Structure 1
Amino acid sequence: MNLEEYLNELKNQIRDKHAKEFVVNEFLAHIEDQAADLQQDGMDHEQALTKAVEEMGDPVSVGVSLDRIHRPHMEWKFLIFTTFISILSIGVFYLICTTMPADSVLINVAVTSNTFFKHIASIAIGLVAMLIAYRLDYTILAGKSRIIAALFLLIMTLLPIPFGQTINGSNRWLCIGGITLSIQALFLLYLPLFAGILYEYRNKGISAVIKIFCWMIAPLLSRLLYSDARGPFALFMLFAEFILFILALRKNWYAVKKRALLLGGGFIFSVIAAAVAILCINLRSYQVARLQNWISHIGLFTRSMDEDGMLYVNSRLDYTFLHSNFIGKSDSAINIMKNMAGMTGDLILGSVAATCGIAAVVVIMISLVVLSIYIFNISLKQRNSLGYIVGCSSGILIAVESISNILIVFGLLPLTSTTLPFFTSSMSYIIVDYILLGLVLSIYRYKDIRIEKEPVGSTVVKAE
């Protein structure tokens, strides 16, 4: 059997097309190395090549063994943990909907009679979206991230023209075929694309860093066209993107002086963040009041509790947690939460404490922390750099969403719009959260069969 026949037979035993390329190239290198050693022992080239092929063993048996190794994997423990969080979320919403009084604001405004079934539908759609993302090959981003990101930004910029909808004075919604979607939730999917962009610019020097900063602010410019680049969301996106950029720098992807770039990048980030905050806040009185109330709540400023109602929310949340039972509902805590119109979607941990008990709040917090750590653990172990950075983008989004919501609920960050992953009443955010988990599963699925490819036309600059 000659070399070509051997490699073809070997390749026919392997089902994954990307693994075929990897295995054939690896075996070709081994055969050529073995043939070179045999030539040094006196064989001519053709004899050495034939002998080297024979020493590789039966191509069918070898191919079957390699197919078993280089096959897609399912991370069953991660999937089971995701299922646990899904069931926990459904259980929490069931208890909230069945425990709150029928005449409460919670039932009539924040949680309608259809909210529980809507939440189940959101979880079901999210799980389907997760499985679709799992089946998709995340390496489609390799070499195409900038094109995909540009198309994404173009679509997200143009869609509000025919489908934009204003709700309660906010133009952050799309209504397509009777389905209302949050634009801010959809924009979270830009972060994995930004991760792919960071990957594409490897080894391209300081000019690539400048382009990266342009891609960093691109989604904010898109929303500015609609006067909707809200401060908290803009800062959230910039913070998540900057963390990803730091992770890329730690890998020496851009062959630049990291210390100087980090200092310069930190300064630029601070300036951009401050400019965005000032531009988006625009000295609106209620937003200034929020900051004052936050400072007052943490004891650095004294302010009347009922001056504008926002410090009232913080105090009511404190009262709710203080008077909640460890396990089970608390009537006194429920009486507080039921009248906080519109707050149960953003500050749902308060409702959980009142209706389910502090133990449920602790379980939710621990579950989300463990999930974030689990995602980072999977991502950091990837041998493929694209899988590493895309997985980290998912982990950053879940972690920052969780931590910021928890800090806001407990008064450690200013009161603002926020969501708790998987436990929000927003279908859009739930679906996006599950898509992020699907990306992580896809990264694990192909962890042994996606080879690293160096960027084309890269330049090498010594890093210090």
Structure 2
Amino acid sequence: MAREQLNEYLEAVGAQIRWKRARRPLLRELSDHIADQAAAFEAEGQSPGEALAAAVAEMGEPEAVGRELDRLHRPRSCWRLALTVAVLLGVGLTLQLLACQVTGDSASDYYFRRQAVGLVLAVGVLVCLWFSDYTLLFRRRWVPTAAMAVLCLSFLLIPSTWLRDWWTLPVYYLLVYPVLLLPVPFAALLVTLRGKGPLAVLLCGIAALALPFTALLAPHLTAWLVSAGSMLVVLLTAVRLGWFRGKRRWNALAALGPALTAALGMGYQLARSDYAQMRMAAFWNPALDPFGYGWWYAHLRAGEVTYTSPDLLLAEVSQGLGRWVFWAAAAGIILLAALLLRRIFRLRSRTGKLTALAALCPLLFQAAIYWLYNLGWWPSGALSLPFLSYGVTFLLVDAALAGVLLSVFRMDALVRDAVAASARPVSLPEALNIPLGRGSLHIEYRKKA
């Protein structure tokens, strides 16, 4: 009889929860709490049936409890961010047409039609990921590892006929673009490693540098820097949030140790390379190489664009409208970054924070580097200005990252951080009161006899 009463109670509560995705885990949590409370009553001398009936009765009216759970656990679709992305896509098409008019590109119609088709595909990718369940990435420990392996080994999909010419565009795309997605499964890997020690942090720091290796095969140093830098930011954030066991300062050193070692090694190799020294000298002082790389840097810094390129959208538009375009772009990047970071660190779940940060960092780093490159103050190549510059494949990648970010915001009310095993005992309060409707849910923590 008591068991039937429990089932009826849970059904009544579940009927008030409108988000189907949230219904099962919430009812499971509620059932577990009732079972714990019934066990406490049974330890006081009540029969199992009486204890269960008393635990159900103590929960309060099922409709009120269900309505309160429904209020607290609804999908939070971030429509403002979705609208911002839509506006950026529209502005991107407009800027590309304007750039073609300024430079007189004869292929503007072809490029515009191709970008429009890519925009439709990107919107489809964004919407699919927006309304998907991003927690599938870390429900099984092997999933993030498998996802990273697929992204790292995507160049194996290249047909053998393409490999005859290493610099064909399909080969280049499969080597460079997938690495920008790596930070998301990397964050999922960190979720599965919660509670581990400094050794796990050290191995993750090494993996952050090694995983984007295909970008160096292209070679595209900027893509490697964006991917590896994003993963290191996520790893340091996990350390800051106390995701790993041990002192945070040692975990932070373990995370940064491989990167610092790699930086010293790269600096040593560059110092021994005459070409690298010449390139950096021309970057800092273009007058030293007026007919080579120095000519390129000098013209960009003067606001002069001599040929059209998808990597120079801001420079082309500013040549026609004025240098204020650069500062408007910088203000937009900073404002959007500040708002999104504020939204991310207000998420309830640390899991959500890490995943959202992993999706946001590649977008922000791409935008900042693109801005510097167009000003003539970035020594390597650029990627894309997210959602604005030309490039169908980059557009799809950036849309996927934005879709993951929207999915995290949408599911924040439902995601629970996994409990990590710890050698230290966890101190619990004597009681916890949770407001529910007109009353409250009172939970007492008692030691087992």
Which band: TM-score by shorter chain? Answer: 0.7 to 0.9
Q: What pairs up with 1:336-415 in 2 under 5 angstroms?
A: 336-337=304-305, 339-340=306-307, 344-415=309-380
Give the Cα–Cα distance (whole angstroms) in 2 for the partners of residues 244 and 28 of structure 1: 35
The 1:116/1:81 distance shift into structure 2, 3 A limit, reads: same
Gaps of 5+ in 1: 102-106, 321-335
Confirm or deny that 1:305 pairs with 2:305.
Answer: no
Residue type at the aligned position of 1:23:
L
Q: Could you say if the C-alpha distance between residues 53 and 263 of structure 1 is closer, same or farther in structure 2, counting changes exceeding 3 Å?
A: closer
Q: Alpha-carbon deviation of 1:431?
A: 1.2
Distance change >3 Å, CA 446–CA 282, structure 1 → 2: farther
Shift of 1:88: 1.5
Measured after TM superposition, the shift of residue 56 of structure 1 is 3.6
Cα distance, 1:411 vs. partner?
3.2
CA distance in 1, matches of 2:158, 2:186: 22
Query: In the alignment, what sits opposite 2:442?
Result: none
Partner of 2:197: 205
**Cα distance in 2, alignment partners of residues 112 and 2 from structure 1:** 70
Describe the superposition over 1:358-392 as per-residue Cα deviations: whole angstroms up to 9, x where unpaired: 34433333223233223322321222222111101
Q: Contact 1:153/1:222 (CA < 8 Å) preserved in 2?
A: no
Residue type at the aligned position of 1:160: I
The number of residues matched between the two structures is 420
Contact 1:384 1:447 in 2 (8 A): yes
* Equivalent residue, structure 1, for 2:441: none
**Which residue of 288, 294, 297 maps to 1:314?**
297
Amino acid at match of 1:303: L
Q: Contact (CA 8 Å) 1:349, 1:409: kept in 2 or not? A: yes
Structure 1 residue 253 corresponds to structure 2 residue 218: no
Post-superposition shift, 1:284? 7.6
Match of 2:124 among 128, 140, 155: 128
Contact 1:353 1:360 in 2 (8 A): yes
Report sequence identity in percent: 21
Return the TM-score normalized by structure 2.
0.81
* Equivalent residue runs for 1:442-461 within 5 Å: 442-455=407-420, 458-460=421-423
Taking structure 1 as the reference length, the TM-score comes to: 0.79
Q: In structure 2, what is the equivalent of residue 239 of structure 1?
A: 229
| Compared CA separation, residues 290 and 269, structure 1 to 2 (3 A) | same
Pairing partner for 1:79 from 79, 82, 94:
82
Q: Tell me if structure 1 keeps the 8 A contact 2:14–2:23.
A: yes
Q: 1:33 to 1:460 in 2, by over 3 A?
A: closer
Deviation at 1:348, TM superposition (A): 1.8
> Which residue in the other structure is 2:280 paired with?
291
How far residue 292 of structure 1 moved from its aligned partner, in angstroms, is: 1.6
The one-letter code matched in structure 2 to 1:170 is: W
Rounded Cα–Cα distance in structure 1 between residues aligned with 2:374 and 2:324: 16
Asked if the contact 2:125–2:399 (Cα under 8 Å) also holds between the matched residues in 1, the reply is yes
- Shift in Å at residue 444 of structure 1? 0.9
Per mean C-alpha deviation after superposition, the further-off stretch among 47-56 and 436-445 is 47-56
Question: How large is the Cα RMSD of the aligned pairs?
Answer: 3.3
Secondary structure class of the residue paired with 1:170: coil
Selected match of 2:115 from 115, 119, 139 = 119
Superposed, 1:134-213 pairs within 5 Å as 134-142=130-138, 143-144=140-141, 145-153=143-151, 155-162=153-160, 164=162, 170=167, 173-174=169-170, 181-213=173-205
Match of 1:70 among 73, 81, 86: 73
Give 1:181 deviation, angstroms. Answer: 4.0
SS in 2 for 1:113: helix
Cα separation, 2, equivalents of 1:51 and 1:267: 56
Which deviates more, 396-405 or 62-71? Answer: 62-71
CA distance in 2 between counterparts of 1:213 and 1:166 reads: 35
| Alpha carbons of structure 1 residues 260 and 130: separation in structure 2 relative to 1, 3 Å | same
Q: Look up the equivalent residue of 2:218 and give its one-letter code.
A: D
Instruction: Return the letter of the residue paired with 1:444.
Output: F
Which residue in 2 is equivalent to 1:219?
211
Cα distance change, pair 52–390 in 1 and its aligned pair in 2 (3 A): same
